[in-house]
């Protein structure tokens, strides 16, 4: 349980809010690169951290990300003309380059220097891993890009989708680290494996990049099977690795759109080899079935308006604990059911909520560090070079002293900026 004030601090991400200010210190996924397929293509609307924005690719292929409102008289730049290295507002023709400089102001007399005084709010962007990332914080505090492994592998090694979840980012993010729900919410859809058994031990280890959380479940006598998830600041996860060292790795990012919606990026990748058709099929059909977007939108086929296609017969039969189709839908449906913004003042947290409690503490501590001007976690790009893992240890062996050997990653050098 959190106080009302703590909850408010964590869930609000608009400009000037504590969490909004913290998130603006990190690179934020804004859209897929494929949404801006070629130079001078149509601009797209983007909403990030409660800000309405417009993204476009200029004549040289560079990305611009603007406040949606033209600084002249607030017309939407979405309707703008994307032409010759700039986006031109169609109301009175003011044109801006990707840095937000006004490069043409045809509505004013030619001798006027007014255009030199006007800028449109713009955010620097870079493309990594098929995603356009934005930095929305103070220029002097801009960090180097985090070396998330899925952004460093070749395109053939990665498969990504995204969809909107209609609730606050934090309850969705917490769901990603809620260890015990897998044994219930997803029962029936979990492939054969240890996740059906309740964990015996929980571990959360703070790290430079965020934390590693793990659940240890009983294996052979005297052994524990550990599933270790990785949390990267401020909203990333690597899902514990099932199926041995050659298994693909799943990743998510829960990006606030506004306080009542978040965009979930779901990535499957392999560090060393191209993904197999079968692995992409798994990503599409097994885990995210019906969490696929309705074509042309980020909204999912199963959603609040159709009760997530719940099938009461399947629920009753026990083939699926929920009767909802697929992991993604189950998570989405149940997390949205907690309310647009979950009221954490009325919770009753138990031992199985250990990781959720620690996740909140980690974020509150980061807010505290920021308020005091102390260094923030996750600012050193190389610190992100770890992987999630699944491994077995003798019961007597310390998780803490062993885990680093399993999560170390040999990522490639970053691509050129
Ligand atoms: S409102 Fe954009 S140029 Fe006038
Ligand atoms: Fe889940």
From the CA of 73, give the closest atom in ligand 1.
Answer: 1
Per-residue confidence (pLDDT) for residue 323, from 0 to 100: 93
| CA 232 – CA 252 distance, rounded (Å) | 10
- Say if ligand 1 is within 6 A of residue 72 CB: yes
CB atoms within 10 A of CB 127: 18
User: Quick one: which atom of ligand 1 is closest to the CA of 74?
Assistant: 1
Best residue for ligand 1 mutational test, from 73, 80, 106 (most atoms within 8 Å of Cβ): 73
- The pLDDT value recorded for residue 145 is 98
Q: What is the pLDDT of residues 232-258, one digit of tens each?
A: 999 999 998 877 778 999 999 999 999
Residue 3 has pLDDT above 90, yes or no: yes
257 close to ligand 1 (CB < 6 Angstrom): no
Enter the CATH code of domain 149-407.
3.90.380.10
| pLDDT tens-place string over residues 286-328 | 555 566 778 889 988 899 999 999 999 999 998 889 999 888 8
Cα–Cα distance measured from residue 382 to residue 376, given in angstroms and rounded to the nearest whole number: 15
358-390 burial: b if 16+ Cβ within 10 Å, else e: bbbebbbebbeebeeeeebbbbebebbbbbbbb
Is the pLDDT at 417 greater than 60? The verdict is: no
Ligand 2 geometric centre to CA of 229 (Å): 13
Q: Which of 10-14, 276-280, 291-295, 408-412 is the least confident region?
A: 408-412
How does residue 415 score in pLDDT terms, banded at 50, 70 and 90? very low
196 lines ligand 1 (CB under 6 A): no
Compute the distance from residue 51 Cα to the ligand 1 centre, in Å. 19
Which pLDDT band, with edges at 50, 70 and 90, does 413 fall under? very low
| Phi, psi dihedrals of residue 3, rounded to the nearest 5° | -70, 160
- Which residue's CA is minimally distant from atom 4 of ligand 1? 92
Give the distance (Å) from ligand 2 centre to CA of residue 176. 6
Q: What value does the mean pLDDT take over residues 77-102?
A: 98
Q: What is the DSSP string of 327-386?
A: HHHHHHHHHHTT-SS--GGG----GGGHHHHHHHHHHHHHHHHHHTTPPPTT-SGGGG-B
- Band (pLDDT 50/70/90 cuts) for residue 412 is very low
In CATH, what is the architecture of 27-141? 3-layer Sandwich (2.102)
Instruction: Give yes or no for a contact between 230 and 238, defined as CB atoms under 8 angstroms apart.
Output: yes
Q: Which segments of the chain belong to CATH 2.102.10.10? A: 27-141
Cα of 177 from ligand 2 centre, angstroms: 8
Cα of 37 vs centre of ligand 2, distance in Å, is 32
CA-nearest residue for atom 3, ligand 1, is: 92
Q: Ligand 1, residues 89, 105, 120: which to mutate, most atoms within 8 A of Cβ?
A: 89
Q: Say whether pLDDT at 191 is over 70.
A: no
Q: What's the mean per-residue pLDDT of the chain? A: 92
Rounded-to-integer distance, Cα 411 and Cα 272, Å: 9
Question: SS3 helix, strand, coil % of the chain, rounded to 5?
Answer: 30, 25, 45
31 pLDDT above the threshold of 60: yes
Ligand 1 pocket mutation pick from 68, 71, 75, 95 by most atoms within 8 angstroms of CB: 75
Q: Is 321 in the pocket of ligand 1 (CB under 6 A)?
A: no
What tokens were used for 85? 């290295």
Whether 75 is in the pocket of ligand 1, judged by its Cβ within 6 Å, is yes
pLDDT at 327: 84
CA 134 to ligand 1 centroid distance, Å: 25
**Cis amide linkage into residue 234, ω under 30° from 0:** yes
pLDDT at position 36 is 98
> Residues 65-72: what's their mean pLDDT?
98
Residue nearest to atom 1 of ligand 1 (CA): 73
Please indicate whether residue 305 or residue 189 has the higher confidence score (pLDDT). Answer: 305
Alpha-carbon span 1 to 10, nearest angstrom? 13
State how far the Cα of 216 lies from the Cα of 52, in Å rounded to an integer. Answer: 43
pLDDT 10s digits, 352-407: 899 999 999 999 999 999 999 999 999 999 999 999 999 899 999 999 998 988 88
Segment 106-110 shows an average pLDDT of: 95
Res. 197: pLDDT tops 50: yes
Beta bridge partners of 250: 268
- Write down the pLDDT at residue 190: 62
Q: Which residues contact 307 (CB under 8 A, 6 or more apart)?
A: 333
> What does the pLDDT average to over 150-178?
95
Q: Where does the chain hold its CATH 3.90.380.10 domain(s)?
A: 149-407
pLDDT of residue 288: 57
In this prediction, residues 131-152 reach a mean pLDDT of 97
For residues 34-54, give the mean pLDDT.
98
Q: Is 81 in the pocket of ligand 1 (CB under 6 A)?
A: no
């Amino acid at each position: 349980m959190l106080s009302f004030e703590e909850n408010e601090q964590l869930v609000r991400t608009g400009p000037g809010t504590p969490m909004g200010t913290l998130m603006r210190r990190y690179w934020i996924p804004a859209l897929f690169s494929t949404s801006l397929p070629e130079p001078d293509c149509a601009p797209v609307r983007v909403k990030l951290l409660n800000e309405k924005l417009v993204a476009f690719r200029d004549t040289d292929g560079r990305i611009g990300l603007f406040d949606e409102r033209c600084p002249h008289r607030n017309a939407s730049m979405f309707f703008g003309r994307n032409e010759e290295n700039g986006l031109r507002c169609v109301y009175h023709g003011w044109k801006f380059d990707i840095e937000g400089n006004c490069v043409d102001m045809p509505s004013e007399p030619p001798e006027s220097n007014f255009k030199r005084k006007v800028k449109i709010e713009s955010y620097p962007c870079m493309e990594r891993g098929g995603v356009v990332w934005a930095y929305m914080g103070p220029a002097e505090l801009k960090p180097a890009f985090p070396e998330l492994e899925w952004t460093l592998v070749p395109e053939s090694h990665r498969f990504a989708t995204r969809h909107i979840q209609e609730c606050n980012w934090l309850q969705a993010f917490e769901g990603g680290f809620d260890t015990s729900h897998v044994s219930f919410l997803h029962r029936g859809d979990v492939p054969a494996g240890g996740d059906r058994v309740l964990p015996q031990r929980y571990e959360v280890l703070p790290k430079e990049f965020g934390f590693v959380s793990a659940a240890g479940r009983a294996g052979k006598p005297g052994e524990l099977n550990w599933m270790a998830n990785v949390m990267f600041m401020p909203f990333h996860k690597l899902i514990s690795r099932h199926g041995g060292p050659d298994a693909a790795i799943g990743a998510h990012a829960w990006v606030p759109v506004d306080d009542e919606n978040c965009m979930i990026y779901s990535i499957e990748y392999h560090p060393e080899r191209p993904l197999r058709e079968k692995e992409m099929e798994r990503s599409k059909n097994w885990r995210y079935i019906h969490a696929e977007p309705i074509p042309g939108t980020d909204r999912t086929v199963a959603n609040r308006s159709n009760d997530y296609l719940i099938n009461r017969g399947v629920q009753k039969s026990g083939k699926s604990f929920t009767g909802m189709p697929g992991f993604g839908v189950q998570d989405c449906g149940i997390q949205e059911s907690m309310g647009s913004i979950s009221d954490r003042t009325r919770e009753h947290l138990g031992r199985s909520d250990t990781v959720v409690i620690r996740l909140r503490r980690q974020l509150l501590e980061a807010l505290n560090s920021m308020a005091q001007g102390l260094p923030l976690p996750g600012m050193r790009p190389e610190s992100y070079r770890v992987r999630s893992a699944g491994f077995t240890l003798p019961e007597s062996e310390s998780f803490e002293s062993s885990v680093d050997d399993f999560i170390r990653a040999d990522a490639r050098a970053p691509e050129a900026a």
